[in-house]
Amino acid sequence: MDVKTVCLGMLTEGDATGYDLKKYFESTFSHFFAAGYGSIYPALAALFGEGLVECTEISQRGKPNRKVYRITDAGTEHLREALSDPKPSHKLRSEFLATLCFAHMMSDEQVDAVLDNRLEEIARYEAMFDEYEKAGLCQWPPGKRFVCGFGQAIVNAAKTYIQENRDLVVPVDHDQKTAHG
């Protein structure tokens, strides 16, 4: 499943512009599927060329025309076929884990920094998920709720693991641990 298919799927939840879809990728999808404008706009153009989406242009002064896309019946059918893969992939690519595999080549300070930075990013994800819960998570389609819960579960497991096992790769600094308690 490529960016094109994901865009098509996003359009099942309502008409949108490329700009809107980008925001979507940055929010709910950010923890498992990245895409930038350089992927999204060409994807929409291709979908349009294949008749899988329609486009309504809305003139605006000073800005490019707003192009609102809507999925067509052909698009819906195409999406259903794409979703029929019973073994969709789930791939991690982690420089973080690769780096730690080679921790024996690094100083303790470096390893510490890498772990702390990861914990910070995890905290950002947690904050993001909390935002979603405050907003209308309860009214979301069940698939989206499942996926966000999945993200929370994984992120939480990662956080706990790092906190409880960092002594494997770096000597524990007890001062740091009790500093701001």
* Choice from 80, 134, 174, 180 touching a second copy (CB under 8 A): 80
**28 is an interface residue for DNA by CB under 7 A:** no
- Phi, psi (5° rounding) for residue 134? -60, -45
Side-chain-facing half-sphere of 142: CA atoms under 13 Å:
0
Closest approach of Cβ 68 to DNA, in Å? 7
* Choice from 8, 10, 17, 148 touching DNA (CB under 7 A): 17
CA distance 89 to 172: 37
Q: Which stretch binds a second copy (CB under 8 A): 15-23, 47-55, 59-67, 80-88?
A: 80-88
Residue in this structure with the two tokens 């579960």, named with its chain if needed: 153
SS3 state at 17? coil
Closest CA to 6 of 155, 135, 30: 30
**60 is an interface residue for DNA by CB under 7 A:** yes
CB 149 within 8 A of CB 130: no
First to last CA, the chain: 46
Q: Between 10 and 17, name the residue whose CB sits nearer to a second copy.
A: 10
* Choice from 22, 31, 66, 67 touching a second copy (CB under 8 A): 31
Return the residues of window 128-157 that contact a second copy according to CB under 8 A. Answer: 141-147, 149-151, 153-154, 156-157
Closest approach of Cβ 65 to a second copy, in Å? 28
With helix as H, strand as E and coil as C, how does 145-169 read?
HHHHHHHHHHHHHHHHHHHHHHHHC
* Choice from 65, 94, 110, 165 touching DNA (CB under 7 A): 65
Closest CA to 9 of 52, 57, 49: 52
The residues binding DNA (CB under 7 A) are 2-4, 17-20, 23, 34-39, 41-45, 60-68
The residues binding a second copy (CB under 8 A) are 1, 5-6, 9, 12, 28-29, 31-34, 76, 79-80, 83-106, 110, 113-114, 117-118, 121, 141-147, 149-151, 153-154, 156-158, 160-162, 165-166, 168-169
